[in-house]
Copies of this chain bind each other. A is one copy, B any other.
Amino acid sequence: MPTSKDVAQAAGVAQSTVSYVLSGKRPISEKTRKKVEDAIQQLTYQPNAGARALASRKTRVIGLVIPFIPELHMASIMEFVSVIANTARIYDHDILLVTEDEGAPGLKRVVGQQICDGLILMQVEGDDERLPVVRSLNVPVVLIGIPHDPSGLVCIDADFEMAGEQCVQDLAAAGHSVISVIGWQPEVVERHVNYVERFMSGTDKAAQDSGVRVLHLPGGTDRDVIAASVDKALAETTGVPAFIAPDGTVQDVLRRVLNSRGLTPGVDVSVIGSASPTLAELQPIPLSTIDLRPAEVSRRAVKIICDLLEAENQGPRESLELVPTVITHRSSTLRPPHGS
């Protein structure tokens, strides 16, 4: 592997000149710049990351802490990961995977060894055990998810409260007077209390404003649980029933249960789920969805941390950013009686 010294020799300049050509931190004459750039080309020189990190004290690597919980919707996690990796490249950074299995010590490790300059944590829980460590770390950390106490932390997430409001407002406008929320799996509810709570607070707020009733019923992937929830909802509903299934894993089961009860979404029942547009279109009856904007959340998370890395004026930051959600009508919900 050629080094910057080799390049310097080939171009007939000093090694430091090569470095300045690359970084642009000092003026270089057009003539020598060209000589250097040609030499770089011919030698296919690429700077050594280790040496660069050692000298500059910057690795240009961001650690991404990923969850792997079977209860979660893995496809959506993957979308986060993918978008985060691609966005990082735009800012000329790379992504190092840190598994949740490593827990808090894992964070200390990658930061302590200076393998990366900062961290993005996915799937942050309301009372996440890693928060004390995060606060003690002297590098920028961005949390995807809002913990109960976000003080001293930099957080970003979809606006779940807005999502809840949108769903209920929408269904209320379509004429439903009782709206049932088939919630997340118990495991998720216990762990990630925060976004569940935010969603519910949104639905309840909208319910008050619109004068409709919202039922919160247990979700999950267990067909029996969903079936019980559906039956309870049907029993309590006057008029056309409406369901909100904010968890991607719940939808399939819900669809089947409704089917077995002889109910057709968009005809004699309304259903709003959460899924990507492409997935929503693939359903037998295209699903009206509440889009939680995973790609946008990912992009912003990367932007935030890269800005922090650039700024670097140390002081412990604190910020909280909520990404607006988007509701999209497809065929699984009733159309409002008149107007939008």
A235 within 8 A of B: no
Q: Which stretch (A24-32, A66-74, A175-183, A266-274) binds chain B? A: A66-74
B-contact bits for A150-189, CB 8 A (1 contact / 0 none): 0000000000000000000000000000000000000000
Assess whether A148 is interfacial by the CB under 8 Å rule: no
Given contacts A46-B109, A74-B79, contact A97 B85 (CB under 8 A): yes
For residue A73, which residues in chain B have a CB less than 8 angstroms away from its CB? 75
Report how far A330 CA is from B298 CA in the complex, Å. 39
User: Is A223 an interface position by the 8 A CB rule?
Assistant: yes
Q: Would you call A94 an interface residue if the criterion is a C-beta within 8 Å of the partner chain's C-beta atoms? A: yes
> Which residues in B have their C-beta under 8 angstroms from that of A97?
64, 81, 85, 94-97
A169 to B159 Cα, complex, angstroms: 52
- Tell yes or no: A129 within 8 A of B by CB: no
Cβ contacts under 8 Å, A256 to chain B: 284
Tell me the complex Cα distance, A81–B86, Å.
16
- The contact of A74 among B51, B59, B78, B113, by CB within 8 Å, is B78
From B59, B85, B99, B282, give the contact of A82 (CB < 8 A): B99
Closest-by-CB residue of B relative to A249 is B282
A232: chain B residues at CB < 8 Å are none
**B-chain residues with CB within 8 Å of residue A95 when the two chains form the complex:** 96-97
Question: A256 to B221, alpha carbons, bound, how many Å?
Answer: 18
CA distance A98 to B221 in the complex (A): 33
Determine whether the beta carbon of A68 is less than 8 Å from that of B64: no
Contact A1 B54, beta carbon cutoff 8 Å: no
Asked if A101 is at the interface (CB within 8 A of a chain B CB), the reply is: yes
Residues in A65-115 with C-beta less than 8 Å from chain B = 66, 68, 70, 73-75, 77-79, 81-82, 85-86, 89, 94-99, 101-102, 109-110, 112-115
Least Cβ distance of A56 to chain B in Å? 9
Closest CB-CB distance, A20 to chain B, in whole Å?
Answer: 19
Residue of B nearest to A78 (CB): B74
Q: Which residues of B contact A59 (CB under 8 A)?
A: 49-50
CB distance from A280 to the nearest CB of B (A): 12
Tell me, yes or no, whether A231 is within 8 Å of chain B by CB. no
Q: How many Å from the CB of A330 to the closest CB on chain B?
A: 15
- A47 lies within 8 A of chain B by Cβ: yes
B112 close to A284 (CB less than 8 A): no
On whether the beta carbons of A68 and B61 are closer than 8 Å, the reply is no
8 Å CB contact of A54 from B54, B78, B101: B54
Determine if B113 and A46 form an interchain contact, defined as CB atoms under 8 angstroms apart: yes
Q: How far is the CA of A115 from the CA of B50 in the complex (A)?
A: 7
A225 within 8 Å of B (CB atoms) = no
Q: What is the CA–CA distance of A48 and B61 in the complex, to the nearest angstrom?
A: 14
A203 to B271, CA, bound (A): 41
What CA separation (Å) do A112 and B43 show in the bound complex?
12
Say whether A1 contacts B112, CB under 8 Å.
Answer: yes
Query: Taking the complex as formed, is A252 at the interface, i.e. its CB lies under 8 A from any CB of chain B?
Result: yes
A223 — which chain B residues lie within 8 A by C-beta?
284
> What residue of chain B has the Cβ atom nearest to residue A53's Cβ?
B50
Q: Can you sample 8 A-B contacts with CB below 8 Å?
A: A51-B54, A54-B54, A66-B81, A66-B85, A74-B74, A74-B79, A78-B78, A78-B81
**Shortest 7 CB-CB distances between A and B: which pairs?**
A50-B53, A46-B112, A74-B75, A68-B82, A50-B54, A74-B78, A95-B97
